[in-house]
């Protein structure tokens, strides 16, 4: 299920828990529709979108975390597959975009924080950074958030980076994908591409 990757050198991946709007963001980035559904877990295997002339692919990885109607065993398997995929292609990944739901992310992180538990979003953020993959946290659905700066500062705090969020504009990108408001994400991704001498990919972001 995870061996469908086109033979491309450079890659940008979208990761995040189910129902945060990854597929909507993918559609905004590519202009191409993928299956999106109101139910979490519609995307069970990677969606790849590549441009024939470019040695480059954007990949929307399946959502992790709770999915209605999906057994825990299967959820864990999907998460394992995601981790293995990222480890296998870490050297190819130019930028990872960790998508979170701006409205609920703090509550979800706090609900799953305990002595034996690291929330998925926090775990994934640190996992990507340990692999030295440049990571942007796309904080989606910001149109539903009133206390914007406060919420983004709280997210920095939960991720273990020091607020205020505005000093992390390469890392924290507030967006509303369904309204096409993704310019802050595009700018962050371009920063990382530029650092890797891949300005040729700016036209996609």
Domains in the chain: ranges and CATH: 10-197 (3.40.50.300)
Q: Quote the pLDDT of residue 184.
A: 97
Give the bridge partners for 100, in sequence order.
139
Mean pLDDT (the chain, rounded): 89
For residue range 22-59, list pLDDT tens digits in order. Answer: 989 999 998 887 655 555 455 577 888 987 678 899 99
Q: Quote the pLDDT of residue 65.
A: 75
Q: Quote the pLDDT of residue 136.
A: 98
Q: Quote the pLDDT of residue 179.
A: 95
User: What's the mean pLDDT in 2-29?
Assistant: 90
Residue 85 and residue 62 in contact, taking contact as beta carbons nearer than 8 Å? no
For residue range 171-202, list pLDDT tens digits in order. Answer: 999 999 999 999 999 999 999 999 999 999 99
Find the DSSP H helices in 48-195: 72-89, 105-111, 120-130, 148-159, 183-195
Tell me the pTM: 0.93
| Residue among 89, 6, 93, 19 nearest 50 (CA) | 6
For residue range 60-90, list pLDDT tens digits in order. Answer: 998 887 666 778 888 888 889 999 999 999 9
Q: Quote the pLDDT of residue 74.
A: 83
């Amino acid at each position: 299920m995870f061996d469908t990757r086109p033979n491309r050198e450079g890659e940008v991946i979208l990761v995040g828990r189910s129902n945060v709007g990854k597929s909507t963001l993918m559609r905004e980035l590519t202009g191409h529709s993928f299956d999106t559904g109101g139910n979490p877990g519609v995307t069970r295997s990677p969606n790849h979108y590549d441009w024939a002339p470019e040695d480059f692919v954007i990949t929307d990885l399946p959502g992790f975390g709770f999915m209605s109607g999906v057994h825990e065993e299967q959820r864990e398997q999907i998460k394992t597959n995601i981790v293995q995929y990222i480890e296998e292609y870490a050297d190819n990944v130019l930028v990872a975009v960790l998508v979170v739901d701006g409205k609920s992310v703090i509550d979800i992180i706090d609900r799953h924080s305990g002595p034996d538990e690291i929330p998925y979003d926090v775990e994934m953020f640190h996992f990507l950074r340990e692999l030295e993959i440049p990571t942007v946290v796309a904080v989606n659905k910001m149109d539903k958030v009133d206390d914007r700066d406060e919420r983004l500062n709280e997210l920095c705090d939960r991720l273990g980076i020091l607020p205020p969020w505005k000093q992390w504009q390469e890392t924290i990108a507030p967006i509303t994908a369904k309204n096409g408001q993704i310019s802050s994400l595009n700018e962050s991704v371009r920063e990382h591409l530029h650092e890797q001498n891949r300005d040729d990919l700016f036209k996609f972001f």
